[in-house]
A and B are shown apart, each in its own frame.
Chain A
Amino acid sequence: MNESAAAHPYVIQRSVPTLIWGREDGSFHTRISLFNYYSLLVEERPITSTAHLYLFDESGREAAHAVQVLEPLGQWQCALSSLVDRFQGSIGVQLVPDFLPPLKHNKYVGTLFFATYWDAKGHADFTHETDRMRYEDDHRLQYEPTVIPSSPSIDTSVIVQNSYFGADPSQCDKAFHLDIRRSDGTSVFRKSYALEPRASVVLHLNELVPNIRHLLGDKPGSVHISGRHINQPLTWSRHASGDFNIHHF
């Protein structure tokens, strides 16, 4: 991180928001849980931190920005319903301490937090944060594969988020590629997509490949996603019982 990098949108001092995905409507809810852990990690003095929570809808538009001051040992249990009635998209979370000890690296400092999801029938799940927001100076290729479970009771979707939050949208590589394979590695479906900066999309695999279970047989399969400005993708697995799981690749 250099001086110009510190001027990137959403970067405050050394702190950069880390990302997760969320949804809020009448039947599905998301809560972000964040503890002022700087007050445990820094021994020099009591630390008060300022937490920022940003919501970006699926088109990439900033839908909300909430700020909360966390006293030493304080925490923020932020239900998205307190900010928006309906939402689906990317969430950025950033904890900015009022004092940071000297660091031995020149990178950004991310934020550790968790998202909890629940529905009206009592099914619940949670996951930790994923990658940080990315900018003009970051063009590494991200490639992430994960399993499509063999269980016939599970429908899998994948959530892909564009991780570019820089000031110059022309610097964003919007393309990402999806590849579904059988357990032996042979490909059954390939497609390239484009996602605007900060945008996100939920892709239901059984809509992309209507006979996916037949093609995979009773075996597991895999889904491979790659792109230059993608956040670590997530799977959204829905079980026949109604329970669900949302987790990074």
Chain B
Amino acid sequence: MFPAGFWKDTEPRFGFPVFRGCVNRVSQAVRLDFCRFSWKKAARQTLAKLRQGRSPDMRMFLPLLTGRKQRMTVRGALTGRDGRFLHDFGEIGSWGAGETLEININELCEARGIAVDDSMFMMIMNLGEHTDALSDINIFSMSYEGDRFFTNYRTGAFARTLNDFSKKKHVGFMSINPKAVVSESHLTGLLLINHSSNPEYGDSVYPTVRLYRPDGKFLDADFGPVPAFGGIERSIEDLFGDSVRQFLEPSGGLGTTVTRVKGYTLAGITVLRSRDGGSMAIEHTRPTQSYLLNGI
């Protein structure tokens, strides 16, 4: 849980895992057209808001009147993997169109005497007067570099309502991961993040995981609690026991996990590690139903 009012509804944000034993970085190439606002764009957004029956945010006209170039100001905070609030880094910097930001989380922590451990980093972006410029924010790269591995995943920030039940109810979360591996050399882990748009959110969630073999046979497991703002990682062997290797043997160690929880939404990440520590791969999961609901 974060202190009340830790971010504004209009400030895009997202959390990502920090791993001990490697250099953790978050970076972004700020788009060349970041906050390139025009009277045409302002008029279009005003009309769109009016059509939705909402009032346009008149502050978006300020940069047009003043000629000021908006920069993206970034703040950061650290929680434990259990969601416990640990540290507010405050403002880290600001970047404008065409510039590149790269934040070394290890250096941030070490400068404040914080040991780099498995934890969660929350990035919060302030767009000043351009509160409607969320779509101008490029996605972020989270990279993890050790002596023997390098991996990276990319995802975007959001300002939509998540796990804030006074404003919105969720049907539930379902994440389909068809690339689970349990072999002599590699092991997949599932990392679930219980995020919210409400800094004071405090619910733990209790997902379930089903592991399918290509012939349709499956195993069930409880994932265990994921505390608010926490990020819990469990390997396929943690979830299903050592015998899961025999279960997946007929399919060469390959299977699909389906993770579900009712009434909440989560962020899902898959981690693939070689057992000898020589490789690590990470990727977020995708909302499968999106193609059906929204098309492409």
Contacts and interface: CB of A to CB of B under 8 A. Distances in A.
B27 A241 contact: no
Contact of A37 (B176, B186, B255, B296): B176
A248 B284 CA distance: 12
A44 to B, nearest CB: 13
Contacts of A241: 146-150, 278
Given A74-B216, A128-B285, 9 more contacts: A35-B258, A40-B288, A112-B176, A145-B30, A145-B31, A146-B29, A237-B152, A247-B141, A247-B154
Interface stretch (B2-10, B94-102, B164-172, B227-235): B94-102
Given A75-B178, A147-B141, A244-B150, A126 B212 contact: no
Contacts of A184: 99
Interface stretch (B47-55, B56-64, B78-86, B268-276): B268-276
A75 B285 CA distance: 17
Given A124-B279, A220-B102, A247 B152 contact: yes
Nearest to A182: B100
Contacts, number: 198
23 contacts: A74-B216, A113-B178, A114-B177, A114-B178, A114-B179, A116-B272, A121-B278, A123-B278, A124-B279, A125-B151, A126-B179, A128-B283, A128-B286, A131-B296, A143-B33, A145-B32, A146-B141, A147-B141, A182-B100, A243-B280, A245-B150, A245-B152, A247-B153
Q: How many interface residues does chain A have, given as a range?
A: 35 or more
B178 to A, nearest CB: 4
Which of B139, B145, B186 has its CB near the most chain A CB atoms (within 10 A)?
B145
A108 B296 contact: yes
A191 interface: no
A18 interface: yes
Given A106-B295, A183-B100, A241-B150, A75 B278 contact: no
B138 to A, nearest CB: 6
Contacts of B256: 33, 35, 75
A52 to B, nearest CB: 15
A77 interface: yes
A76 B5 CA distance: 47
Contact of A147 (B100, B185, B258): B100
Given A40-B174, A220-B100, A126 B291 contact: no
A153 B69 CA distance: 35
In the A-B complex, the 7 residue pairs with the closest CB atoms: A107-B295, A185-B98, A222-B29, A239-B150, A110-B296, A145-B29, A33-B178
Contacts of B286: 112, 128
A93 B95 CA distance: 38
B100 A222 contact: yes
A179 to B, nearest CB: 8
A147 B288 contact: no
A104 interface: yes
Given A71-B216, A245-B150, A126 B33 contact: no
Contact of B214 (A41, A74, A128, A149): A74
Contacts of B96: 185
Given A75-B214, A183-B99, A239 B295 contact: no
B243 interface: no
Contacts of B27: 147, 149, 220
A239 B212 CA distance: 33
Contact of A41 (B143, B284, B292): B292
B28 interface: yes
A221 interface: yes
Given A145-B138, A241-B148, A243-B280, A124 B186 contact: yes
A142 B138 CA distance: 13
Interface string A60-73: 00000000000111
A105 interface: yes
Interface string B20-46: 000101011111110000000000000
Interface string B181-216: 100011000000000000000000000000010101
B259 to A, nearest CB: 12
